[in-house]
A = this chain, B = another copy of it.
Amino acid sequence: MTIVNGEEVVNNKQVILREYVSGYPKESDMYVTTGTVKLKVPEGSNAVLVKNLYLSCDPYMRNRMKPATESYIGSYTQGSPIDGHGVGKVLDSAHPKFKQGDLVWGVTGWEEYSLITQTDYLFKIEHTDVPLSYYTGILGMPGMTAYGGFYEVCSPKKGEYVFISAASGAVGQLVGQFAKLLGCFVVGSAGSKEKVDLLKNKFGFDEAFNYKEEPDLDAALKRYFPEGIDIYFENVGGKTLDAVLLNMRAHGRISVCGMISQYNLDELEGVKNLVLIIAKRIRMQGFIAFDYYHLYPKFLDTVLSGIREGKIVYVEDIAEGLENGPAALVGLFSGRNVGKQVVMVARE
C-alpha cells in the first residue's frame, strides 16, 4: 500500500484497449498497465469495490471494440480498461445489498480491483459448492443466455431436431444439454476434432461435426438432419445461417444469440436465403440474456441441481493471470479455446 495525495492506494493492474479494432483483434490491440486504486468506495455513493477473481471472455465484447457499436451496452473507451462479466470479492460497499466479504458476479473491469457503480445486474453468490469461475459462465450471464434463448425463445418440444453452432462454447454446451434433457435430437458444430469429441462424448450431443472439414455445409446439415431442423440456436451467422435456412422445417425457430463470424468483418456478409422464412413460416428472434434475468432464481435452481446430480457438465478453459487476458480474449475469435474461456485474476 502506498500513499498518493494523502490517500492510501494499492497498485491495480489493468487491461487497456489501445485503440478501436478493425478485422480480427490482436493481443497488441490491448496492453497491460499498472495504475493505482483506493480500496474504499466514495462516500455518499451506492458503489461496491471488488477484488476481481475471474473474468469472462465473451464474443459480444468484440463489438464493443468498435467505435460505432452494434452492442447494447456501448463501445469501450480507447485508452481505458475494458470491462465484462466477472466474479469478485467485495472489499468495501456502500450498497445495502452487498457487504465486505460477499462474493458477487456481474459486470466488472478487466483489472485487479474495480469500483462497480452500476449494481443493477450485480448478483450475490450464495452457493459456493461449485467452482467460483462457473459464475462467469454456466451459472452467470452465458448460462442465462442459454436458458432464456432456449426455453423462452425457441419454444422447444420433446423430439424436435435441434442444431447448435459454436456448440462447445459457454452457451452452446449448455443449450445442447438442455435440449437433450428435454428429449430433443441434438447436433452441434464446432471448429476442431477435440471440440467435436467433447460434444459427443462429454456433453451427450447425438452428433457433432467440425465445420472446417465440411466444404459444403448444406450437404453436412442434410446428412445430420435428413428430416430438417426444427430449432437452430444461432451463434455464428453468415454462411452457416444461409445453409441452415435451406434445411429448416416448416414452423422452425431460430434463436439468434450471436453471429461471431461477422464480428471481425469490416463488410458484413449478406444472408441470401432469408426469403425461405416465408414459405417455411420461420420465426427468427434476436435476444440478450438481460431480458431474462428475472428468471435467474429458477434458472439457478435448475442448473445447480443438474450440476450436483451430474446431469449437466461444464468445460472451461482457464487462462491464469490478468496479463494473459488479452491473449485469452483474442483466442476466442480464432476458436483457440476449448470450452468456456475464463481469465483467472486471483483465486480468492
A residues lining the B interface (CB < 8 Å): 70-72, 237, 241, 256-259, 262, 267-288, 291
Given contacts A268-B273, A275-B262, contact A286 B291 (CB under 8 A): no
Complexed CA–CA distance, A286 and B275 (Å): 9
Given contacts A281-B287, A287-B281, contact A274 B71 (CB under 8 A): no
Complexed CA–CA distance, A272 and B287 (Å): 18
Known A237-B274, A274-B274, A281-B287; 15 more pairs at CB < 8 Å: A70-B276, A70-B279, A71-B279, A237-B275, A258-B278, A259-B275, A268-B275, A269-B272, A270-B271, A276-B286, A279-B286, A281-B285, A281-B286, A283-B284, A283-B286
Which residue of chain B lies nearest to A272 when distances are taken between CB atoms in the complex? Answer: B268
Given contacts A274-B237, A275-B259, A278-B259, contact A284 B287 (CB under 8 A): no
Would A288 and B279 count as touching, CB distance under 8 A? yes
User: Chain B residues near A262 (CB, 8 Å)?
Assistant: 275
Oligomer: number of copies: 2
Within the complex, the shortest CB–CB distance from A218 to chain B, in Å, comes to 14
Complexed CA–CA distance, A272 and B265 (Å): 11
User: Chain B residues near A280 (CB, 8 Å)?
Assistant: 286
Complexed CA–CA distance, A138 and B258 (Å): 40
Would A282 and B285 count as touching, CB distance under 8 A? yes
Given contacts A278-B288, A284-B284, contact A269 B270 (CB under 8 A): yes
Task: Specify which of B72, B272, B283 is in contact with A270 (CB 8 Å cutoff).
Answer: B272
Complexed CA–CA distance, A267 and B273 (Å): 10
User: Chain B residues near A282 (CB, 8 Å)?
Assistant: 285-286
Most buried by B among A270, A288, A291: A270
Question: Can you list the 8 inter-chain pairs with the closest CB atoms, starting with the nearest?
Answer: A270-B270, A277-B286, A278-B286, A268-B272, A72-B279, A284-B284, A283-B285, A259-B275
